[in-house]
Structure 1
Amino acid sequence: MTLRIHRADFSDPRLAAFLQAHLDELAPTAPPESRHALDLSGLRQPGVRLWVGEWDDGIAATGALAALGQEHEEVKSMRTDPRRRGSGVGRAMLRHLLGDAVSRGVRQVSLETGSTEFFAPARALYAGAGFVVCGPFGDYRDDPHSVYMTLTAASAGGAEYASFACEAGAEPRCQFQKSTARCPGRTACCDEVF
């Protein structure tokens, strides 16, 4: 079995159900004012790019990038189907997001995640990719229910950060490609197979 990552099709009813399950799963983890997951309409906003990871015929993961500034984006709506957790699907989606960001010249990627034990696997995933804890960014404020993390080209050593474009996947499948991170025989792409 392989994971195929592609841009979201908002007309797919499976996507709406998957994202609603994400919101439902997060609801008991924090009070409403401390929940920052985007719903379907939020993910359709300009400046937000949503991907879906499919395994067989089902959605196994989602992940999005939301523009914060010219070279700064935020990871949003990272979710792995509970049946696929621990299988590397989340790591593959995160690498895809980072590869896309690098290919478009983004120099910093930040995120907000929960502070409770429920979110410990997510925090470990992000730390393993080089994210470090930081203060609130964008419109966020200090919140005991949130942990803020960031990854910059400088903190990742430049070449290592750019390597996410190479690690992200297989041969390019896009007709039009723009990449600032060059890899021998590969480039970050809108459609990858893992």
Structure 2
Amino acid sequence: MLIPSLLMFSLLFVSSFASVQDFCVADLKQSDTPSGFPCKDPKKVTEADFVYSGIGKAGNTTNLIKAAVTPAFTAQFPGVNGLGISIARLDLAVGGVIPMHTHPGASELLVVIEGTICAGFISSANTVYFKTLNKGDIMVFPQGLLHFQLNSGKSSAQAFVSFGSAVPGLQITDFALFANELPTELVAATTFLDVAQIKKLKGVLGGSN
């Protein structure tokens, strides 16, 4: 009786694992939800859903921040949907900067591929951690904390950043304050910045009011 019982248990054990969903490739034709995109019909999934070539070339750094971020999140790379991982490429021209920002949905790991990058973050206790990183160096930025990357070298810099979420989210502090219709008086009252400086920054970043 013992052997049949063990056999039945083994079959149930294998069956339970066979029913596990291996992946949930995002169906970008449907609306996003707080828990992610709905799954694409597995019968329509191909190897192309698990391959993305978008971060193979440098981004355009001819802009205000002299930097470019090329993401491979769910919206660009449907295969990472629901897997808790994603990646992006950073390209920074000389003097380029990824301004102070936060990712509400994920921690971040940066690896420098070329050049020199000064990177850091601010803890919730307002302790600052920053370091000049060279090729091959890595740094981690805990979820939700303000952080930045700055090309501190004399040549262009490149890095890759991985995230613990397929949708890490992004809020850039400067844009949150100066690229919208938040009244200048409120910005001044809550940041102690000079009104003239606030209006100047709003003009540069496209804000109003």
**TM-score normalised to the size of structure 2?**
0.28
Higher gyration radius (CA) = 2
The structure richer in helix per residue is: 1
**TM-score normalised to the size of structure 1?**
0.29
Q: Which has the higher contact order (CA 8 A, sep 6+)?
A: 1
